[in-house]
Amino acid sequence: MKYFAFLVILFHSTLVCNAQTNKALTSDNIKEKKYPKPNELNSFDFISLTEAENILEKPALLKDSTYRLSSGLMRYSLKYVAIYKDSTSKGQLLLFLEQHKDTLNSKDIYSFIKKQQLNNPTLTALNDLGDEGFYFRDSSNYPFIMVRKGTKIYKLQIFYLTDNESLTALLNQARKIVLNH
């Protein structure tokens, strides 16, 4: 009998938790905080397959696209993967979009990440993108771009490719994304 009572309580608490979670993600709440709805975000509005292939300099496919909304933060991400005949090589293009509840939060996150790279000799300011931006090459020489525009933070990164043409294409894509969103 104790086991049955435990199952009933567990089932009830699961329903209550799910109801609260679903309430937090209703379209009214998303609209109220001015976050885009999941169906309003399309990968091709940020990086089309053709653009991804141009950046990666290889045929590619969209491997993953995710949307999360929680605690005043909306996160959207895309992952394109290059297609190779040689399975030992890889190429990846990642886009992360974060929309914070206010500009102060986005400024704090941006500043925190930039401070972590201040000793990186490749850190370069991008004064012509958004409110503030920078790019650098990580320890494996892979480029990373971060731009803040109002409450939004855009992060773009290429893995496994170090070609300067890829970096130029990535910077051009970052400009396009920031200007259009």
| Alpha-carbon separation of residue 52 from 55, 64, 104, 171 (angstroms) | 5, 13, 32, 12
What is the pTM for the complete model shown?
A: 0.75
The number of angstroms, rounded, from the C-alpha of 21 to the middle of its chain's C-alpha atoms is: 22
Beta bridge partners of 79: 64, 94
CATH number 3.40.1000.70 is the correct assignment for the domain at 34-180: yes
Beta bridge partners of 75: 68, 98
Which residue type is seen at 114? K
Find the radius of gyration of the CA atoms of the chain: 20
- pLDDT tens for the chain, 181 residues: list them: 433 333 333 333 333 333 333 333 344 333 334 766 655 656 556 899 999 998 988 899 999 889 898 888 999 999 999 987 765 567 899 999 999 999 999 999 999 999 999 999 999 999 989 999 999 998 888 999 999 999 999 999 998 865 677 888 899 999 999 988 8
Pairwise CA distance, residues 148 & 107, whole Å: 7
Domain boundaries, the chain: 1-32, 34-180
In this structure, what are the phi and psi dihedrals at residue 31, rounded to the nearest 5 degrees? -65, -40
The pLDDT, as a whole number, for residue 39 is 54
